[in-house]
């Protein structure tokens, strides 16, 4: 199915598209379309003042630029081309150890699914992700509320946070290996650490950006301080907290994979390293695909939560 390109009605808004903006007369694609129309017997009559043209037989349908494929089909086409290039490259290499073919990776995925190993490792990692998110939220959100509401607390705690923040979670791995040993605690610690900072900063920012008039209104209606925090400040800063949660998931998922790769005996990060040592590249790539999928669906989930809980604050940037 083919669809027409939508041209924004306001010429000063919408994303820049050099091709669409170059004057019509110098655009070969549109010239070709015009020629085709002429050949088909449709006559282009006039150019209106807005620059959109109407055709004689179909006055209601404005000429809206060349035909383009719908977005989803373009995406499928791009990914198919990528897969074909990958397949050709793996044929050219001729070494499934160096570059397994996409078919081989799908085989490996099916194998791992059937044996249940994929599910086991992925659920371990996802459980760690959940636990550490909860830990980070329990620590960061109350602290952020305190720091945002009481300037004195903010002033005292802030320097320590600013000292710790540049030290990435990954840099804690050796010390954490020493403290916790190889196992489940280490990835949870690293991920909680990585998720803590974005959550804290976004909570503080959210609390500080609450409309002062809302708080005054609640106060003039005689609400107690605790009630104001619970019913006014918290809901009003929720969008910011959720954005923080989204950033926390992104940085935490990276950290958890790194932590599992170095210091755990289970999970997807461990699995890619394990199969690399066994030189089973197809399974390594299969797990890389799984890591991408989990990261992607975590992001989708949090976007859905955002739409659901705070529909008034969904911006265009958040797809």
Partner 1 sequence: MSARHFRSMVLPVVLVVLWQAWAMTLPAKSAAPSPAHVVKEFGALVSSGALPSATVQSLGRVVLGFVLGAMLGITTGALMGAFRSVHRNLDPIIETFRPVAAIAILPMVILWCGTGLLAAVAIVGYAAFFPLVINTAHGVSHVDRRLVQAALTMGVKPSTILRTVLLPAALPSIFVGARLAMGIAWTAIIAAELAVGAKAGGPGGSGGLGEMMFVDYSYSVDLNGIVVCMIVVGIVSLLIDRGFRAAERRLLAWRL
Query: Which residues sit at the interface with partner 1, rule CB under 8 A?
Result: 11-23, 68, 71, 74-79, 82, 97-98, 152, 155-160, 163-164, 166-168, 170-175, 177-178, 253-254, 257-258, 261-263, 269, 272-273, 275-277, 281, 284-285, 288, 291-296, 299
Minimal distance, residue 211 CB to partner 1, in Å = 26
Q: Are 189 and 135 in contact (CB under 8 A)?
A: no
Minimal distance, residue 224 CB to partner 1, in Å = 28
Comparison of 87 and 168: residue with beta carbon closer to partner 1: 168
Comparison of 57 and 151: residue with beta carbon closer to partner 1: 151
Comparison of 56 and 175: residue with beta carbon closer to partner 1: 175
Cα separation, 9 vs 109, whole angstroms: 47
Cα torsion angle, 122, 125, 127, 133, sign: negative
Comparison of 283 and 306: residue with beta carbon closer to partner 1: 283
Minimal distance, residue 246 CB to partner 1, in Å = 13
Q: Are 206 and 189 in contact (CB under 8 A)?
A: no
Minimal distance, residue 253 CB to partner 1, in Å = 7
Minimal distance, residue 153 CB to partner 1, in Å = 10
Comparison of 142 and 174: residue with beta carbon closer to partner 1: 174
Comparison of 7 and 238: residue with beta carbon closer to partner 1: 7
Minimal distance, residue 60 CB to partner 1, in Å = 26
Cα separation, 26 vs 189, whole angstroms: 60
Comparing C-alpha atoms, which of 175, 184, 302, 304 is closest to residue 251?
302
Cα separation, 319 vs 315, whole angstroms: 8
Cα separation, 145 vs 143, whole angstroms: 5
Minimal distance, residue 155 CB to partner 1, in Å = 5
CA atoms within 13 A on the CB side of 187: 29
Comparison of 119 and 296: residue with beta carbon closer to partner 1: 296
User: What are the beta bridge partners of residue 54?
Assistant: 46, 62
Minimal distance, residue 43 CB to partner 1, in Å = 28
Comparison of 53 and 276: residue with beta carbon closer to partner 1: 276
**φ, ψ at 67 (rounded to 5°):** -65, 140
Comparing C-alpha atoms, which of 195, 187, 206 is closest to residue 138?
195
Comparison of 218 and 294: residue with beta carbon closer to partner 1: 294
Minimal distance, residue 275 CB to partner 1, in Å = 8
């Amino acid at each position: 199915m083919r669809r027409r390109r939508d041209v924004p009605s306001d010429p000063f808004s919408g994303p820049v598209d050099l091709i669409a903006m170059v004057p019509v007369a110098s655009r070969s694609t549109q010239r070709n379309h015009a020629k085709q129309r002429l050949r088909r017997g449709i006559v282009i009559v006039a150019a209106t003042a807005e620059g959109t043209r109407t055709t004689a037989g179909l006055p209601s349908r404005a000429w809206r630029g060349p035909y383009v494929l719908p977005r989803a089909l373009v995406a499928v086409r791009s990914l198919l081309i990528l897969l074909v290039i990958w397949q050709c490259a793996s044929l050219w290499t001729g070494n499934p150890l160096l570059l397994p073919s996409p078919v081989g990776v799908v085989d490996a995925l099916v194998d791992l699914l059937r044996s249940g190993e994929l599910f086991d490792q992925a659920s371990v990692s996802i459980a760690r992700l959940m636990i550490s998110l909860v830990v980070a939220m329990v620590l960061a959100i109350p602290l952020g509320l305190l720091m945002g509401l009481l300037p004195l607390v903010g002033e005292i705690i802030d320097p320590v946070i600013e000292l710790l923040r540049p030290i990435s979670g990954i840099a804690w791995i050796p010390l954490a290996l020493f403290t916790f040993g190889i196992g489940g605690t280490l990835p949870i610690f690293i991920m909680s650490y990585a998720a803590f900072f974005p959550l804290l900063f976004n909570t503080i920012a959210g609390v500080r950006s609450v409309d002062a008039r809302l708080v005054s209104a609640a106060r003039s209606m005689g609400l107690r301080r605790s009630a104001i925090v619970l019913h006014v400040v918290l809901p009003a800063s929720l969008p910011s907290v959720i954005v923080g949660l989204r950033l926390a998931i992104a940085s935490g998922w990276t950290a958890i994979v790194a932590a599992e790769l170095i210091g755990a005996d289970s999970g997807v990060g461990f699995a890619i390293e394990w199969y690399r040592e066994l030189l089973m590249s197809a399974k390594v790539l299969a797990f890389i695909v799984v890591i991408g999928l989990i990261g992607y669906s975590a992001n989708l989930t949090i976007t859905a939560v955002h739409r659901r809980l705070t529909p008034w604050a969904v911006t265009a940037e958040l797809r």
